[in-house]
């Protein structure tokens, strides 16, 4: 099913909304950093929420226009890691002081569906609420779930939010597994710079000039810390581009230099080099980066056109999405 895109929101390193995000993407990339500024409304309760949930709430507010019926609005929250800060706090408390000192607050903030509950409370959402986690295609999977809700008429509108955070413990884990960009001897194919951020899309069953026209998820048998091999990844990417209209742009996943080379080889001459976007160096590698890159594609489509969004996850996951803006 296709769906209209009615609103977007984004918080990323150096960006607090769509306009600043486009400025960041138009500048040379630096080392992906943490999100330094998270918009809020000055509500003291909001400021006490964990960082992950404040990022999620900020982008949800950006994507929600006034007048949307929140009693029936579906919420789909995607995250790969969940509340890492709370998880580390809970586990370190138990490890250093004993199980009886595990923080109940940190525990409930560490579960993946905690942000969906906080979003529902803060925004007054009373429709279906789901949380999905699918490694580095968590954002794309959340979109697929939202499209299914719209197709089955469980909701007329669906708010898709994805968020993940970067903390020192995550960097240490990447180093321990030898996939951090700084890891000595890391394979060029899996040399990753972690990042963080959040994005949101408001989708509707009605017609509109800006639409998601395809959302395809593919699984390939692959080792946990490897991406899909070029020979199995490439045919799906080429087929997705072939289904797009002439002159479509492509947002490459490009989590590493070798993967970008494989994506470029798969596209060949079918897509001009100038129409291939690579946003990962600005965002870093994290499970919600796919939805942030999709918001980037939406923001770039100020004029009629089409973009094919390619996503990859460690362990063999692959996604393809098409976004189109039509005249009128």
Instruction: Work out the mean pLDDT of the chain and round it to a whole number.
Output: 90
Domain boundaries, the chain: 3-204, 210-325
Q: What's the confidence (pLDDT) of residue 112?
A: 84
Same fold for the pair 3-204 and 210-325: yes
CATH topology for 210-325 is: Peroxisomal Thiolase; Chain A, domain 1 (3.40.47)
Percent of the chain with pLDDT over 90: 64
For residue 307, give the 3-state DSSP assignment. strand
Q: What's the confidence (pLDDT) of residue 20?
A: 96
CA-nearest of 198, 173, 201 to 64 is 201
CATH number corresponding to 3-204: 3.40.47.10
C-alpha dist (Å) from residue 176 to 1, 85, 182, 191, 288: 41, 19, 11, 13, 22
Nearest-angstrom CA–CA distance, 241 and 246: 9
CA-nearest of 172, 171, 49, 76 to 133 is 76
Tell me which of 71-75, 148-152, 179-183, 323-327 is least confident.
179-183
Q: What's the confidence (pLDDT) of residue 189?
A: 66
User: Residue 213 CA to chain centroid, in angstroms?
Assistant: 18
Tell me which of 177-186, 198-207, 222-231 is least confident.
177-186
């Amino acid at each position: 099913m296709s769906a209209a895109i009615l609103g977007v929101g984004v918080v990323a390193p150096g960006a607090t909304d769509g306009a600043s995000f486009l400025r960041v993407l138009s500048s040379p990339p630096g080392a992906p950093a943490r999100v330094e500024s998270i918009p809020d409304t000055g509500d003291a309760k909001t400021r006490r929420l964990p960082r992950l949930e404040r990022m999620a709430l900020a982008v949800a507010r950006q994507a929600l226009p006034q007048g949307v019926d929140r009693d029936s609005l579906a919420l789909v929250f995607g995250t790969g890691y969940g509340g890492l800060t709370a998880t580390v706090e809970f586990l370190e408390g138990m490890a250093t002081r004993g199980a009886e000192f595990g923080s109940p607050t940190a525990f409930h903030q560490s579960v993946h569906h905690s942000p969906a509950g906080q979003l529902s409370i803060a925004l007054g959402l009373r429709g279906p609420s789901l949380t999905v986690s699918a490694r580095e295609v968590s954002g794309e999977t959340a979109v697929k779930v939202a499209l299914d809700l719209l197709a089955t008429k469980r909701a007329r509108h669906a708010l898709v939010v994805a968020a993940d955070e970067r903390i020192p413990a995550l960097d240490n884990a990447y180093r321990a597994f030898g996939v951090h960009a700084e890891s000595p001897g890391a394979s060029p194919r899996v040399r990753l710079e972690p990042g963080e951020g959040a994005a949101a899309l408001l989708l509707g069953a009605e017609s509109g000039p800006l639409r998601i026209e395809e959302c395809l998820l593919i699984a390939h048998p692959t080792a946990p810390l490897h991406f899909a091999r070029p020979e199995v990844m490439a045919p799906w990417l080429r087929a997705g581009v072939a289904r797009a209209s002439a002159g479509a742009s492509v947002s490459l996943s490009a989590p590493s230099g070798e993967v970008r080379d494989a994506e470029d080889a798969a596209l060949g001459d079918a897509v001009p080099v100038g129409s291939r976007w690579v946003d990962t160096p600005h965002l870093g590698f994290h499970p919600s980066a796919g939805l942030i890159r999709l918001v980037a594609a939406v923001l770039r489509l100020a004029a009629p056109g089409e973009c094919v969004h390619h996503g990859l996850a460690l362990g063999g996951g692959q996604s393809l999405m098409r976004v189109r803006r039509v005249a009128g």
